[in-house]
Structure 1
Amino acid sequence: MVNQGRYDRNFNTISHEEQALLARSHVAVIGLGGLGGGVCEMLARTGVGTLTLVDGDVFDTTNLNRQLLSREENIDTPKARAAKERVFAVNSTLQVNAFQAYADETNLDGMIQGADLVVDCLDTIDTRFLLQKIVQKAGLPLVSGAIAGVCGQVTVIFPQDLGYELIYGKRRDAQSSGVETLTGNVSYCALFIASLQASECIKVLLKRGDILRNKLLIADLWSNSFDVMELI
Structure 2
Amino acid sequence: MNNILYFLQERLSDGLLSWAAQKEAAELFGLSYATVEELALENGMFPARYQRNRNMISVTEQLKLYRSKVAVIGCGGLGGYIIEELARLGIGGIVAIDPDIFEEHNLNRQLLSSPGALGKAKVEAALARVNEVNPAVTVTPIKDAFCTANGPELLKGVTVAVDALDSIAYRLELAETCTELEIPMVHGAIGGWYGHVATQLPGDTTVQSIYRNWVEGKGIEKQLGNPAFTPAVVASLEVAEVCKIILGKGELLRNRKLSIDLLDMEIHEISYDVPVELVSAA
Name the TM-score class by shorter chain: over 0.9
Aligned counterpart for 1:38 among listed residues 81, 86, 108: 81
Q: 1:176: Cα distance to partner?
A: 2.7
Query: 1:211 and 2:252 equivalent?
Result: yes
**Letter matched to residue 100 of structure 1:** K
Query: Could you say which residue in structure 2 is the equivalent of 1:160?
Result: 203
Deviations 1:165-207 (A, max 9, x none): 211106xx53332111111101111111000001000011111
Query: Could you say which residue in structure 2 is the equivalent of 1:193?
Result: 234
Aligned to 1:226, the other structure's residue is in SS state strand
**Letter matched to residue 218 of structure 2:** S
Query: Could you say which residue in structure 1 is the equivalent of 2:263?
Result: 222
| Correspondences of 1:61-210 after superposition (within 5 Å) | 61-169=104-212, 173-210=214-251
Counterpart-to-counterpart distance in 2, 1:176 and 1:125: 8
Counterpart-to-counterpart distance in 2, 1:185 and 1:202: 26
Q: 1:109: Cα distance to partner?
A: 1.1
Counterpart-to-counterpart distance in 2, 1:190 and 1:210: 23
Query: 1:16 and 2:59 equivalent?
Result: yes
TM-score w.r.t. the length of structure 2 is: 0.79
Counterpart-to-counterpart distance in 2, 1:187 and 1:144: 20
Question: Would you say the 8 A contact 2:77–2:109 is kept in 1?
Answer: yes
Q: Percent of aligned pairs with the same residue? A: 37
Moved more, 117-126 or 177-186: 177-186
Counterpart-to-counterpart distance in 1, 2:246 and 2:209: 24
Aligned length: 230
Question: Would you say the 8 A contact 1:126–1:174 is kept in 2?
Answer: no
TM-score w.r.t. the length of structure 1 is: 0.96
Query: RMSD of aligned C-alpha atoms?
Result: 1.2
Relative contact order higher in (CA < 8 Å, ≥ 6 apart): 1
- Judging by fraction of residues, say which structure has more helix: 2
Q: 1:108: Cα distance to partner?
A: 1.5
Query: 1:53 and 2:53 equivalent?
Result: no
Deviations 1:118-162 (A, max 9, x none): 001000101101111111111100001000001100000111011
Q: 1:163: Cα distance to partner?
A: 2.1
Structure 2's unaligned 5+ residue stretches are 1-19, 24-46, 274-282
Aligned to 2:161, the other structure's residue is in SS state strand
Counterpart-to-counterpart distance in 2, 1:60 and 1:166: 33
**Structure 1 runs, 4 residues or longer, greater than 4 Å off:** none
Question: Would you say the 8 A contact 2:206–2:256 is kept in 1?
Answer: no
